[in-house]
Amino acid sequence: MTPAGILMVGGIGDNPVIRRTLHGEFSYVRAYPHFSVASKAPFRQNREMKDRLLGAYPAEIQTEIQAFTQGALEGRALSEATAGYPANEDWKPVAEYYLGLELRYWSNSRSMSP
């Protein structure tokens, strides 16, 4: 990723662990209700491009897109919303995916016992 690049993480809902992890690794994070964007450089808004892209959609879809991008958390609000939650660390992720693997392993190892 370039120094001014932007990482988008989708499908996370309001997962505070992922938000906390992004906030700990990137200088700039904007956490929307269903996805987050993060960067080492400040976000710059290109209003002309935004209006052009949004205008390419029918009015009802524009309304949905605008609703989808409301309620973003940044800065202090994001810090407060994720306070008390752990951040993921290399090789020690905090995620339900790994919990599921551990449970499957435990279940499989018990079923193989005599």
Q: Which domain holds residue 42?
A: 6-86
pLDDT digits (tens, 9 = 90+) for 36-83: 999 999 998 899 999 999 999 999 999 998 888 888 999 999 999 999
Residue 22, burial from CB neighbour count under 10 angstroms (0-12, 13-18, 19+):
buried
Element (H, E) at 7: strand 6-10
Q: For 26-84, where are the alpha helices, taking DSSP H only?
A: 47-55, 59-68, 75-82
Claim: this prediction has a pTM higher than 0.75? no
Query: What is the rounded average pLDDT for all residues in the chain?
Result: 84
Domain for residue 105, yes or no?
no
Q: Find, among 34, 14, 36, 15, the residue nearest to 26 by Cα.
A: 36
Domain for residue 73, yes or no?
yes
> How many domains does the structure of the chain reveal?
1
Contact call for residues 64 and 28 (beta carbons, < 8 A): no
Domain for residue 98, yes or no?
no
Kindly state the percentage of the chain with pLDDT values over 90. Answer: 51
Answer yes or no: is pLDDT of 95 > 80.
no
Domain for residue 111, yes or no?
no
